[in-house]
Chains A and B, each alone.
Chain A
Amino acid sequence: MARLRSVGVATLEKANPSHFLWSRRHFLSGTGGATLALASASAWAQATTKLPLPGGPDERSITTAFPQKGALILQRTRPPLLETPFEVFDQSVFTPNDRFFVRWHWALIPTEVKFDTFRLAVRGHVTRNLSLTLNDILALPQVELAAVNQCSGNSRGYFQPRVPGGQWSNGSMGNARWTGVRLKDVLDRAGVKPGAVQVRFNGMDEAIVPDAPDFMKSLAIDHARDGEVMLAYAMNGEQLPLLNGFPVRLVVPGWYSTYWVKMLNDIEVLDQPDTNFWTKTAYTIPDTPNANVRPGETGVPMVPINRMVPRSFITNIKAGDTLPVGVPTLARGIAFGGDAGVSRVDFSNDGGKNWQHAELGKDEGKYSFRQWQIRFVLPDTAGRVLMVRCTSTKGETQPDTPNWNPSGFMRNVIEQTQVVVA
């Protein structure tokens, strides 16, 4: 059983003790909880885990070697790529800070950040350049928002044919309550000049090779000033772990985490479209429905990846688990609408022939994970495929067939969990 050390998680349970019968007590006393605790104990003992990626390699170390971090799946040591073990998502709607996934592009990450000397520059096409201290930022109106932060390449390891890149299972995502200030308020203090088209964000990380492209991302000026994009200095009620972007990171609700620039220390308002590698060339998707192309297809127009799409997962039953015949069984999990709220979660225990509405948990805001649960009875001992499907408040739903693109981005196919019945 993982330590629930994070203030945010503990507070959530206090504030909302009986909602949805999904308190920690329920988790510990239920059958699903017992199975999970056992599974996670054995994973700890071995210090390795297997990700069921088609064709492998499937073995990964479980690491506790990273500062301010608990047990995570080691995808790469340097620059760090650390994945959240999937059982964490069964424990709370918010992902504890010490289990939150980590992804850096370049290896020179400052290991020391001082409160007094940190500065955030705001410059470019503005009336006055700013150099903000952390106290300046803390003095702005404070806002809070629950939002899913998901890597563009989450679940890349399930693409077939396989594609190069971080070979993630489904754990390069997390949900947190972000606290900080509106980007709009910061830009207003600098005074955006007429003719601004984009805002570019740069963090303190650097490449080993000096002429390698600095990691920067840009948003359209109207998006940057929409009042939702924020600079977060806390997640789940605590300052950000360094590897999640201390002291300040961008939060772009509903968009993939490539835009959520960590250790943000430079904001530049542009009067021309950004042509830097990471905005214009990297992180692009086919401009097709579901960013889908045929393997080998060429000549497809590409656009920068942008908003997220709906996804849903069962968190208390794993592929290969044995479920009892003839008695009520609980399935539960998480769903998110992408750039919209969750309108509906449907569940099938017969491979998608019949679907039932699942009960939805508390609405923590449209950009948050939403918990769901359903009880069902399996009438016979035939093997079963469990499926779960999220429909967003925009009416967008998950596709029956997986998308494919050469970068392994935006997977959101309906998940399938094969179980044994006895």
Chain B
Amino acid sequence: MTRTLLPIALIAGFAFAPFCVHAEDKLILKSVSVELPNSDRMFPDGPGSQAANGNCLACHSAGMVLNQPAMSKAQWDAEVNKMRTAYKAPIDSKDVAPIVDYLVSIRGTN
């Protein structure tokens, strides 16, 4: 790559277009196989934490929620409903209120 980037830097000085075209030295791509880490973090214990663990963690790890700022009950209600309606999370309707109350208890504004 050292060989290709030097002339490119020179061409860039003259060209109006942001692109530089160079035909030589195609890259060689190699197959990739990796493992992604998982998270075993659970929601802190409290009323409703079971419902949160049971419904939220299938799609995303708990850190996403625990990094959120404090929000009002209306905001948390909107978030949980966005997960159900926009992102189709299969949250049982009886679990919605306990989850919202739990989120308000750990990250509520009042």
Residues of A within 8 A of B (CB): 7-8, 11-12, 14-16, 53, 55-57, 60, 63, 65-68, 74-81, 107, 109, 111-116, 134, 138, 141-147, 157, 162-164, 166-167, 177, 179, 182, 207-209, 211-213, 227-228, 233-234, 237-239, 242, 246-247, 253, 277, 281-282, 363-367
Contacts and interface: CB of A to CB of B under 8 A. Distances in A.
B47 interface: no
A81 B67 CA distance: 12
B36 A78 contact: yes
B90 interface: yes
B31 to A, nearest CB: 4
B95 to A, nearest CB: 15
A113 B88 contact: no
Q: Determine which residue in B8, B12, B35 has the highest number of CB atoms from chain A within 10 A of its CB, and name it.
A: B12
A57 B67 contact: yes
Interface majority SS on A: helix, strand, loop or mixed? loop
Given A15-B5, A74-B63, A365-B12, A167 B32 contact: no
A282 B12 contact: no
A63 B1 CA distance: 29
A363 B14 CA distance: 12
A79 B69 contact: no
B89 interface: yes
A217 to B, nearest CB: 16
Nearest to A81: B64
B6 A15 contact: yes
Contacts of B96: none
17 contacts: A55-B69, A57-B67, A67-B34, A75-B64, A76-B60, A76-B64, A77-B37, A78-B61, A134-B29, A142-B23, A142-B26, A143-B20, A167-B69, A209-B90, A237-B27, A242-B32, A247-B32
Contacts of A146: 18
B23 A141 contact: yes
A229 to B, nearest CB: 11
A366 B18 contact: yes
Contacts of B8: 144
Interface in B48-83: 58-61, 63-64, 66-71, 75, 79
Nearest to A177: B5
Q: Determine which residue in A11, A253, A282, A366 has the highest number of CB atoms from chain B within 10 A of its CB, and name it.
A: A11
A239 B5 CA distance: 15
B5 to A, nearest CB: 5
A213 B88 CA distance: 8
Given A138-B29, A142-B26, A143-B19, A79 B60 contact: yes
Given A11-B1, A55-B69, 11 more contacts: A14-B2, A53-B69, A78-B39, A142-B26, A144-B8, A209-B87, A209-B88, A209-B89, A227-B17, A237-B4, A238-B27
Contacts of A112: 31-34
Interface residues of B, number: 48
B30 interface: yes
A209 B86 CA distance: 12
A144 B29 CA distance: 16
Contacts of B86: 213, 277, 281-282
Contacts of B6: 15
Interface of B: 1-2, 4-6, 8-9, 12, 17-23, 26-27, 29-39, 41, 58-61, 63-64, 66-71, 75, 79, 86-90
B9 A60 contact: no
Nearest to A115: B31
B74 to A, nearest CB: 11
Nearest to B29: A239
A100 to B, nearest CB: 15
A113 B32 contact: yes
Contacts of A16: 9
Given A79-B60, A113-B32, A246-B32, A65 B37 contact: yes
Contacts of A227: 17, 19
Given A74-B63, A76-B64, A233-B29, A144 B20 contact: yes
Given A67-B35, A365-B12, A78 B69 contact: no
A246 B58 CA distance: 25
Given A11-B5, A167-B68, A239 B27 contact: yes
B1 A164 contact: no
B98 to A, nearest CB: 19
Given A65-B37, A212-B88, A281-B86, A367 B61 contact: no
